[in-house]
Structure 1
Amino acid sequence: MSCQGRPSRKPRLIVLIRHGESESNRDKSINEYTPNHMIPLTETGWWQARHAGAQLLRLLNIDDPSIATKLSDKYCISCKSLPLVGYARLNKSLDTNVVFYTSPYKRTRQTLKGILDVFDEYNELNSGVHLPDNQCYQPEIPRRAGVWAVEHPKACREARHYICYRVKDDPRIREQDFGNFQESHSMKELMQKRSTYGHFFFRFKEGESAADVYDRVANFQETLFRHFDKTDRKPRDVVVLVTHGIYSRVFLMKWFRWTYEEFESFVNIPNGSMVVMELDESIDRYVLRTTLPKWT
C-alpha cells in the first residue's frame, strides 16, 4: 500500500540501461562520416545487450529463477557491472507487465533487441510458447506510434508465468547532441575544454549541453508521472529505459534532485550496465539501489 492508503500504481522498479558498446565507443573516427543516430553496436555490444537482458531478468519476480540463472550463464560476458546495495524485493508479486522506452538511435534499439531476445527465450522455456519471428521485436521495422507489444498468448498455460512487454520509441531519451558529423581532432579538443569548463553547462557547437538534456528529462519524467496516475490502464510492474550514458546521469539528477556539483562527481555508467530504482511503498519513494561510479 502507498502512504495514501491505496494500492500504488507506480512500477515496482525503474531501470536505466546504457546501450552496449558501439562502433563509436571503439573508434571515434566513425563520427566523421556516420550520423550519430545510425552508429550500430559492435559484436561485443551485442553480447553486452544479451547479458543485460539476462541480468534484468534476474531482477524480476518470476516463478522459476533457475531459468534466469541458466540464461545468465549462457550470456555471461566479462564486463564492468555496477553493484546493487539493499535491493530487497519489497514487493514480491510476479512481474508480468514490463514497459520499455528506447532512444530511437540504432545502438539503443539494437541493445533492446538483445534484451528482448532473452525475455522471449525465458517465456518459451517457462511457458512452452514460442514467439514467431514476425512477432518478435524488430528494431528496423517501424511501428505505428512507435509502439511494439507482446501480450499474454492464449496458448500459454495459465499456471505458468509469462512476461508481457511493450516497447515505445521516445526521442526525448536520446543521446546528448554533440553536433552533426564530428571531426576527431576537434572533438578531442572540445572534450578537454569541457573537462575544464564543466560537463553540465558546456554546450557543444550545433549541439547541446547536459543542462539542455535536463529539460528533455524533465519533460519525459512528467509523462511518466501522468502514466503512473492513470487508473484506467493496467499497472506497469517494471519500467525500463534503454538509453545513453549522459542521459542516465541527468535522469538521476532530476529524479533525486541532485545539485549540478553532485552531477559532476559521477561518470557515465559502463556500456551494457544498468541502474536500479526500487519503489519503497512505505515512504512512496524510489530508492537508488545501484552504486554509481565516480571520478577518481
Structure 2
Amino acid sequence: MRIILLRHGQSLGNIDELAYCRIPDHTLPLTPSGEQEAIAAGPRVKALLGDAPVAVYVSPYVRTRATLRGLDLGAQAERVVAEPRLREQDWGNLQDPVQQEVLKHQRHAFGHFFFRLPNGESGADVDDRLAAFLTDLETRMAHPDHPDTALVVSHGLTIRLLCRRLFGWSIELFESLSNLETCEHRVLAHDGTRWHLDRPFVQWRASPDGETQD
C-alpha cells in the first residue's frame, strides 16, 4: 500500500495574508503561479503511479480541488472523495487583521499543537480528525476493490499532522518540522508491517526531546 501526500499549489492566502480577512479560507483560489505548479506536478504524480489506478482523497477547499484538477489524472483516478477531515486547520470565519497578527504571535509562543484559536481549532483538534480519517483509509485500502495507492491532496499543517499521527511522532518533533512547499509531495509506503516515509520533512530546529523522523 502507498499513500502519496501532496500539498496544494500556491494560493492567494500564501501571498496575501490579509486575504483571509475578506475571503473565507475555504474559498481562497490558487494564484496563476499555483495553477502552473499544479500542472507541473501532474507528470511527477503520474510517474509515481505508472499505469496503476489511484483513489484520491482531497480536502474540499477550492485551492485543493483546483490543484487536483491541474494534475489532470483523468480516468486513472478511479475514485475521488472530497474529505472534510483533510481540510486546513480552522482559524474561525473571516479574520480581523489585528487579531490575526496577535494570534500568530501567541500561537508561536504557546505551541502550534495545543494552542486553540478563538472560534477555531487547535492542532490537537486537527490531529483527532486525522486519526479517524486514517483508520477509515486503512480499512478501505485493505479491501480488494480499492487501489493499492491513495493520493491525498491537502494542506501543509494537515499533512504534517497526518504523518505525526501515522508514525507516532512526538509533539515536540511535529513542532520542529516545516510544512511542505506548495505542490511538494511525500510518499508513504507500507511494507506489510509498518509505514515508511520516502524522505524526511525539513526541520527548522532539532526536536527538543531528541526524537527524529527515523
- TM-score strictly above 0.5: yes
1:172 aligns with 2:85: yes
Q: CA deviation at 1:238?
A: 1.1
**Structure 1 residue identity aligned to 2:134:** Q
Q: Distance in 2 between matches of 1:241 and 1:60?
A: 13
Question: Does the aligned pair in 1 maintain the 2:6–2:152 contact within 8 Å?
Answer: yes
Aligned to 2:210: none
Aligned to 1:27: 16
**Structure 2 residue identity aligned to 1:52:** A
1:105 aligns with 2:61: yes
Q: CA deviation at 1:251?
A: 0.2
Question: Does the aligned pair in 1 maintain the 2:55–2:146 contact within 8 Å?
Answer: no
1:209 aligns with 2:122: yes
Give every structure 1 segment of 4 or more consecutive aligned residues whose post-TM-superposition deviation is greater than 3 Å. Answer: none
| Structure 1 counterpart SS, 2:91 | coil
Aligned to 2:198: 289
1:43-54 equivalences in 2 (<5 Å): 43-54=32-43
Q: CA deviation at 1:189?
A: 1.6
**Structure 1 residue ranges without an equivalent (≥5):** 1-10, 63-94, 121-149, 151-162
Aligned to 2:135: 222
1:51-200 equivalences in 2 (<5 Å): 51-62=40-51, 95=52, 97-115=53-71, 117=72, 119-120=73-74, 150=75, 163-200=76-113
Query: What is the percent sequence identity of the aligned residues?
Result: 38
| Structure 2 counterpart SS, 1:265 | coil
Distance 1:164 1:108, change over 3 A: closer
Q: Distance in 1 between matches of 2:126 and 2:146?
A: 28
Q: Distance in 1 between matches of 2:200 and 2:134?
A: 22
Q: Using CA pairs under 8 Å that are at least 6 residues apart, name the structure with larger relative contact order, 1 or 2.
A: 1
Question: Does the aligned pair in 2 maintain the 1:100–1:166 contact within 8 Å?
Answer: yes
Question: Does the aligned pair in 2 maintain the 1:277–1:290 contact within 8 Å?
Answer: no
Question: Does the aligned pair in 2 maintain the 1:217–1:250 contact within 8 Å?
Answer: yes
Q: Distance in 2 between matches of 1:295 and 1:189?
A: 22
Q: CA deviation at 1:184?
A: 2.2
> What is the total number of aligned residue pairs between the two structures?
205
Q: CA deviation at 1:164?
A: 4.7
Q: Distance in 1 between matches of 2:62 and 2:77?
A: 23
**Aligned residues: CA RMSD:** 1.4
Q: Distance in 2 between matches of 1:43 and 1:25?
A: 12
Distance 1:15 1:294, change over 3 A: same
Question: Does the aligned pair in 2 maintain the 1:19–1:242 contact within 8 Å?
Answer: yes
Q: Distance in 1 between matches of 2:67 and 2:200?
A: 22
Q: Distance in 2 between matches of 1:24 and 1:200?
A: 21
Aligned to 2:208: none
Question: Does the aligned pair in 1 maintain the 2:59–2:82 contact within 8 Å?
Answer: yes
Question: Does the aligned pair in 1 maintain the 2:141–2:148 contact within 8 Å?
Answer: no
Question: Does the aligned pair in 2 maintain the 1:98–1:240 contact within 8 Å?
Answer: yes
Q: Distance in 2 between matches of 1:52 and 1:185?
A: 36
Aligned to 2:176: 265
Q: Distance in 2 between matches of 1:278 and 1:59?
A: 12
Q: Distance in 2 between matches of 1:100 and 1:235?
A: 11
**Structure 2 residue identity aligned to 1:27:** D
Q: Distance in 1 between matches of 2:181 and 2:30?
A: 14
Q: Distance in 1 between matches of 2:61 and 2:77?
A: 24
